[in-house]
Amino acid sequence: MIISKLNLNKALQILNESAQVFVPAFEVIEDRAAKKSIREKKFLPYREDLEVELEGPNTVKPPKDILFPNVEKLYQYKAAGEDSYIRETLPEETPKILFGIRPCDMRSIKSMDKVFFTKNYVDSYYARRREYVTIVAIGCTETDRTCFCDSMGIDPNTAPGADVMMNRIEGEEAYLLHAQTEKGEALLKNLESLEGPSENVKAIRTDCTLKIRKIPDLDRKLAEMFEHPIWDKVTKGCIGCGTCTFVCPTCYCFDIDNENYGTEGCKYRCWDSCMFSDYTRMAGGANPRPTKKERLRNRYMHKLSYFNERYGETLCVGCGRCIANCPSHLDISEFIEKSSAVDPKAEVYTESIRAAQGKEA
């Protein structure tokens, strides 16, 4: 199906009648301290007056919070003797459409599906939201300086698993849409009235800006490099702020806590970060990952090695958000290149010589 750019707003309006549509759009935020306003691109509930931008750079934050909110109620309770209760609070059954997500973000949703749907337990909250979401993915027409998805095995022009795939047509102000699932077919049926002529059209193809050299079996190599001095180097500069986990489309770790109002309250879960020291700290104070080095190593290993071992795929999709947003300029793509290139044995050897020389001096 072909839809002209001119009809895009109409398409979103039609879709918004039967579901809540989320689109990448600009929001203006007043920075009162700097006395200026900032334009930030994010997934917002569709309104007619929104400044929607499907193409251009990706959103600052990934759309993961629509499936896995920052804070989510698990159940309500009352702790009052005989009157005590625990009441499940599953998310509402509201159909949602995620319109215009990028191939990297689609791949991360597929990774989250593996986490929340497999390995013996299905997460009821995620499952409910996921069931009610229809995803329209769009192939990238331009990429950021920090985009390296194709080095991580993702094609920026296709999004397997999305219900509808959408690509810009070469030389025309229009998009080519095709359904990839039954949900997608049903969605496109709603837009039939807007269909444009489709003769000899060709979708635009884009390539990633940042090319990195990653060896195919980096996951196994890193498993052998747990004690390697590269971890001391890569941690330098990390301030443990957790921004990387906040903007990461595949970071799914969460905390569970409660909020009380008298004897009543609710149990909620919220995003957590493996970069924080209390993430693994136990009662009594023992901490298996006591310093930034262990924590950053765990994060990178989880993305590039542990997840492969458990779920058969890498957990970094190369979206580049952690690189673009790190206040200390830590760069996971640089780490991937360096660890791919390093000769584990030689490096340990030179490091230990240097350490020995240092002691002598």
Contact between residue 74 and residue 267 where contact means Cβ atoms under 8 Å apart: yes
- 124 lines the binding site for other proteins (CB under 8 A): yes
Can you tell me which of 26, 75, 132, 246 binds other proteins, judged by CB under 8 A? 75
- 309 lines the binding site for other proteins (CB under 8 A): yes
Can you tell me which of 22, 46, 116, 231 binds other proteins, judged by CB under 8 A? 116
Pick the stretch among 78-86, 137-145, 160-168, 229-237 that binds other proteins (CB under 8 A): 78-86
Q: Which of 162, 90, 154 is nearest to 133 (CA)?
A: 162
Number of Cβ atoms within 10 Å of the Cβ of 23: 25
Beta strands in 104-222 (DSSP E): 133-138, 164-168, 174-179
- 85 lines the binding site for other proteins (CB under 8 A): yes
Angle at 158 between CA 247 and CA 27, to 5 degrees: 40
Contact between residue 103 and residue 157 where contact means Cβ atoms under 8 Å apart: yes
Determine the residue type at 270: C
- Chain-centroid distance, C-alpha 264: 34
Q: Which of 118, 127, 99 is nearest to 13 (CA)?
A: 99
| CA end-to-end span of the chain | 72
Q: What is the DSSP letter of 200?
A: S
- 300 lines the binding site for other proteins (CB under 8 A): no
- 68 lines the binding site for other proteins (CB under 8 A): no
- 115 lines the binding site for other proteins (CB under 8 A): yes
The minimum distance between CB 194 and other proteins, in angstroms, equals: 40
> CB within 8 A of 152, min separation 6: which ones?
214, 314, 316, 317, 318
- 132 lines the binding site for other proteins (CB under 8 A): no
- 39 lines the binding site for other proteins (CB under 8 A): no
Can you tell me which of 233, 306, 313, 325 binds other proteins, judged by CB under 8 A? 306
| Footprint of other proteins on 199-228 (CB under 8 A) | 223, 226-227
The minimum distance between CB 324 and other proteins, in angstroms, equals: 24
- 307 lines the binding site for other proteins (CB under 8 A): yes
- Residue whose CB is less far from other proteins, 124 or 350: 124
Number of Cβ atoms within 10 Å of the Cβ of 170: 11
Can you tell me which of 190, 277, 280, 325 binds other proteins, judged by CB under 8 A? 280
Burial class (CB within 10 angstroms; exposed 0-12, middle 13-18, buried 19+) of 108: buried
- 274 lines the binding site for other proteins (CB under 8 A): yes
- 246 lines the binding site for other proteins (CB under 8 A): no
The minimum distance between CB 77 and other proteins, in angstroms, equals: 5
* Site for other proteins, rule CB under 8 A: 74-75, 77-79, 81, 84-86, 88, 90, 115-116, 119-125, 223, 226-227, 252-258, 260, 263, 265, 267, 269, 272, 274, 279-284, 286, 288-289, 294, 298, 301-302, 305-307, 309-310
